[in-house]
């Protein structure tokens, strides 16, 4: 099996090459017949890898070639698949495959069809390589590659100005995070003298034994914080979260695959991968917890007031990523990965449902202009409802098991700050249920708030319906791989990847207490949403009018965009203006143009010499001769001595 590892990323790469080279001329609207089978092949192989690792309990690795041989610094391009990788492979290839199938319907008739089906396999390839990487440098390369794919796909509708801006924003904000990641990699290499992950000399083993090796605790703290800054760029944690809501400018399948299920979890994956660095430093763990818990709560409050269907789900993604981050920070590693997996399925489902709604509503995204869609698109309604229930954490759907484990894991954490994170998590869980069902009630229930005579919403075709149903089923059942809580197949399987931390052991009482508590909180959120947005007992408008400052604050997304605009964008723009108008035009251009003008003016003078009169030339020859002879006679002969 290990010999076939390379095929997993190779198949989507081949699909990318074929579609990007031949797409325009030959393949055109049939590009999905190249991309979908390739990703399906990756899915089959990923499944085989998962089963193989489950049987043998040994990680697989395959050495491809030596990438950088340079003295003591050797980088090999190798693939490495352990239990954590196997789970990530399954998530990426499953959601990737379903999104590919869905896109066939969603992107049908788009002039850039082949381009879309080139970038999408390229992303799947990069993401698979990212999770298969066995050293920091290869991880970093594909970390950037998924960022590039994200950029290309956010800006897919490049004729739209907002899409181009959103793509650039995502790229630039990620650069800030990548600066931290890059510094973290350098610090790791500087400290450990290697960038390989595994083996006794690998960074993780060294990080675990850092005290015996005489590495200062401060170094580990700094390394953890730098790596998490990198992770918070990709996983959109505060304060680098601003790009993700704007990334919704991309086509909806892209939002589902990249900005909900896979790429944004790369940061969580990277932190989980380097867990020995983080458990070496309580400060770094506290940092991760604070950022994660704050993001979870902040994003949930913003989601309450937004009106764009995709943005609400995007803020929900932010919030759930915050859950994963603080789960990691409080030491609930397996729970974080569990939530990563269940979230990939139900959030992918929610985004694809959004796509179906937008498609059926003819590109309308404002939930205030929807309503009553339940009877127009029943399949979308039922699948979306399942996704929403899973996201809200209702028993027994996938989100319930994983979110419950995070809340409980934080509560019983070895770290003193764990219970605080757990309380914040409960608050965010209430808000999650509230905003999810605000969305559901406003979109699918009540009266139509659009012109029914002109707009006829319709259910989507089979290409789009099948992935919705598959993901809805997954959102229901996938939580049971982690049943019973903290003792399921998933925990025993994934715990191999976290062998240096103790498994959480929970009592039945704790499980039931937390399960009941989180269900009550979630049902409370749904009930408030029901009263407000369905029955109308509580008026949302009246609430907004009573607390205008709070409403405006949330509606404007905590003014982060404005704040960053004031602090970073505007000074930078002024500085760029200075460089452009003063330095470039005033100094550099002026110097170049000055030289050109000077030469031109001198030449104008000099060309007067060329009169064209033979006599003048002859005179010049004669005078020159006289001059030469004169100098010769004066200097070299003794005639005048």
Partner 1 sequence: MGELTVEHFLFLSAALFIIGMMGVLTRRNMLIILMCIELMVAAVSISFVAFAWESNTLGGQIFVLFALAVAAAEAAVGLGIILALSRRGKSVDVDDLRSLRD
Helices of type H across 412-507: 418-444, 462-477, 489-495
601 vs 626, beta carbon nearer partner 1: 626
Closest of 348, 198, 336, 186 to residue 276, by C-alpha: 198
* Close Cβ partners of 158 (under 8 Å, ≥ 6 residues apart): 164, 167
User: Shortest distance, CB of residue 623 to partner 1, whole angstroms?
Assistant: 10
CA–CA separation, 28 vs 101, rounded Å?
17
508 vs 614, beta carbon nearer partner 1: 614
User: Shortest distance, CB of residue 631 to partner 1, whole angstroms?
Assistant: 18
User: Shortest distance, CB of residue 615 to partner 1, whole angstroms?
Assistant: 6
User: Shortest distance, CB of residue 609 to partner 1, whole angstroms?
Assistant: 11
CB–CB of 366/329 below 8 Å? Answer: no
User: Shortest distance, CB of residue 617 to partner 1, whole angstroms?
Assistant: 9
CA–CA separation, 337 vs 402, rounded Å?
9
Asked if 628 interacts with partner 1 (CB under 8 A), we say no
CB–CB of 167/134 below 8 Å? Answer: no
601 vs 625, beta carbon nearer partner 1: 625
Q: Give, as ranges, the residues between 556 and 615 that touch partner 1 (CB under 8 A).
A: 610-615
Dihedral sign for Cα atoms in the order 295, 552, 255, 164: negative
User: Shortest distance, CB of residue 603 to partner 1, whole angstroms?
Assistant: 15
DSSP characters for 544-607? HHHSHHHHHHHHTGGGHHHHHIIIIIHHHHHHHHHIIIIIIIIIIIHHHHHHHHHHHHHHHHHG
604 vs 610, beta carbon nearer partner 1: 610
What would you report as the CA-atom Rg of the chain, rounded to the nearest whole angstrom? 31
537 vs 610, beta carbon nearer partner 1: 610
DSSP characters for 345-403? HHHHHHHHHHHHHHHHTTS--BGGG---TTTT-HHHHHHHHHHHHHHHT-TTSHHHHHH
CB–CB of 413/331 below 8 Å? Answer: yes
606 vs 615, beta carbon nearer partner 1: 615
CB–CB of 271/327 below 8 Å? Answer: no
Helix (H) / strand (E) containing 74: strand 73-81
Tell me which stretch binds partner 1 (CB under 8 A): 324-332, 399-407, 468-476, 618-626: 618-626
Choice from 622, 627, 628, 634 touching partner 1 (CB under 8 A) = 622
Asked if 618 interacts with partner 1 (CB under 8 A), we say yes
Asked if 7 interacts with partner 1 (CB under 8 A), we say no
Name the token pair of 248. 């919704």
Closest of 490, 503, 505 to residue 83, by C-alpha: 490
212 vs 613, beta carbon nearer partner 1: 613
User: Shortest distance, CB of residue 599 to partner 1, whole angstroms?
Assistant: 21
Closest of 344, 305, 301 to residue 321, by C-alpha: 344
Q: How many residues bind partner 1 (CB under 8 A)?
A: 9
User: Shortest distance, CB of residue 635 to partner 1, whole angstroms?
Assistant: 20
567 vs 618, beta carbon nearer partner 1: 618
212 vs 615, beta carbon nearer partner 1: 615
Choice from 563, 587, 599, 619 touching partner 1 (CB under 8 A) = 619
User: Shortest distance, CB of residue 28 to partner 1, whole angstroms?
Assistant: 59
CB–CB of 4/64 below 8 Å? Answer: no
User: Shortest distance, CB of residue 611 to partner 1, whole angstroms?
Assistant: 7
622 vs 634, beta carbon nearer partner 1: 622
User: Shortest distance, CB of residue 155 to partner 1, whole angstroms?
Assistant: 56
User: Shortest distance, CB of residue 614 to partner 1, whole angstroms?
Assistant: 4
Angle, in degrees to the nearest 10, between helices 83-106 and 7-22: 30
Query: How many other C-beta atoms are found inside a 10 Å radius of the C-beta of residue 184?
Result: 25
212 vs 639, beta carbon nearer partner 1: 639
Query: How many other C-beta atoms are found inside a 10 Å radius of the C-beta of residue 627?
Result: 10
Name the token pair of 35. 């991309």
Tell me which stretch binds partner 1 (CB under 8 A): 34-42, 488-496, 575-583, 616-624: 616-624
User: Shortest distance, CB of residue 598 to partner 1, whole angstroms?
Assistant: 25
214 vs 612, beta carbon nearer partner 1: 612
CA–CA separation, 475 vs 344, rounded Å?
9
Closest of 205, 29, 35 to residue 124, by C-alpha: 35
592 vs 619, beta carbon nearer partner 1: 619
Residues binding partner 1 (CB under 8 A)? 610-615, 618-619, 622
């Amino acid at each position: 099996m290990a010999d076939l590892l390379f095929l997993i990323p190779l198949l989507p790469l081949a699909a990318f090459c074929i579609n990007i080279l031949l797409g325009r001329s030959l393949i055109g609207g049939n590009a999905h017949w190249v991309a979908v089978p390739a990703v399906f092949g990756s899915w089959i192989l990923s499944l085989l890898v998962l089963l193989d690792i489950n049987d043998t309990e040994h990680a697989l690795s395959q050495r491809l070639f030596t990438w950088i041989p340079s003295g003591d610094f050797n980088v090999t391009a190798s693939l490495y698949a352990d239990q954590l990788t196997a789970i990530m492979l399954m998530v990426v290839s499953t959601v990737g495959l379903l999104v590919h199938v869905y896109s066939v319907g969603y992107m049908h008739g788009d002039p850039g069809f082949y381009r879309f089906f080139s970038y999408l396999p390229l992303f799947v390839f990069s993401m698979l390589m990212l999770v298969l990487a066995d050293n920091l440098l290869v991880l970093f390369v594909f970390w950037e590659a998924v960022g590039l794919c994200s950029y290309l796909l956010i800006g897919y509708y490049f004729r739209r100005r907002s899409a181009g801006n959103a793509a650039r924003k995502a790229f630039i904000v990620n650069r800030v995070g990548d600066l931290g990641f890059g510094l973290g990699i350098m610090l790791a290499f500087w400290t450990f003298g290697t960038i390989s992950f595994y083996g006794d000399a690998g960074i993780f083993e060294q990080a675990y034994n850092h005290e015996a090796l005489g590495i200062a605790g401060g170094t580990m703290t700094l390394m953890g914080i730098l790596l998490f800054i990198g992770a918070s760029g990709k996983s959109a944690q505060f304060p680098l979260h601003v790009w993700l809501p704007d990334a919704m400018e991309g086509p909806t399948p892209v939002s589902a695959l990249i900005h909900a299920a896979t790429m944004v979890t790369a940061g969580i994956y990277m932190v989980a991968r380097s867990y020995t660095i983080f458990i070496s430093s309580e400060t770094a763990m506290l940092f991760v917890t604070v950022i994660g818990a704050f993001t979870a709560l902040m994003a949930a409050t913003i989601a309450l007031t937004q009106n764009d269907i995709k943005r609400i789900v995007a803020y929900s993604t932010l919030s759930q990523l915050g859950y994963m981050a603080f789960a990691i920070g409080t030491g609930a590693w397996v729970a974080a990965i569990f939530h990563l997996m269940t979230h990939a399925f139900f959030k992918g489902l929610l985004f694809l449902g959004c796509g179906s709604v937008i498609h059926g509503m003819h590109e309308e995204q404002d939930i205030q202009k929807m309503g009553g869609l339940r009877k127009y698109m029943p399949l979308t309604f039922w699948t979306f409802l399942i996704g929403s229930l899973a996201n809200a954490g209702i028993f027994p759907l996938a989100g319930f098991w994983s979110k419950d484990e995070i809340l409980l894991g934080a509560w019983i954490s070895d770290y003193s700050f764990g219970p605080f994170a757990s309380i914040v998590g409960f608050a965010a869980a209430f808000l999650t249920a509230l905003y999810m069902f605000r969305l559901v009630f406003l979109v699918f229930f009540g009266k139509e708030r659009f012109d029914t005579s002109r707009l006829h919403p319709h259910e989507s075709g089979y290409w789009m319906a099948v992935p919705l149903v598959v993901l809805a089923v997954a959102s229901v059942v996938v939580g049971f791989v982690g049943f019973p809580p903290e003792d399921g197949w998933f925990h025993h399987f994934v715990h191999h990847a976290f062998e240096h931390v103790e498994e959480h052991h929970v009592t039945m009482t704790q499980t039931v207490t937390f399960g009941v508590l989180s269900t009550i909180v979630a049902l409370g959120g749904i009930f408030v949403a029901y009263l407000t947005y369905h029955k109308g007992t509580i008026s949302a408008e009246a609430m907004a009018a009573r607390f205008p400052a709070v409403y405006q604050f949330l509606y404007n997304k905590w003014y982060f965009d404005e704040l960053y605009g004031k602090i970073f964008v505007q000074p930078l723009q002024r500085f760029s203006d200075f460089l452009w108008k003063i330095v470039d035009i005033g100094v550099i251009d002026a110097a170049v143009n000055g030289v050109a003008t000077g030469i031109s003016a001198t030449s104008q003078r000099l060309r007067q010499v060329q009169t064209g009169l033979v006599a003048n030339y002859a005179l010049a020859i004669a005078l020159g001769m006289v001059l030469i002879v004169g100098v010769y006679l004066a200097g070299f002969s003794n005639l005048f001595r």
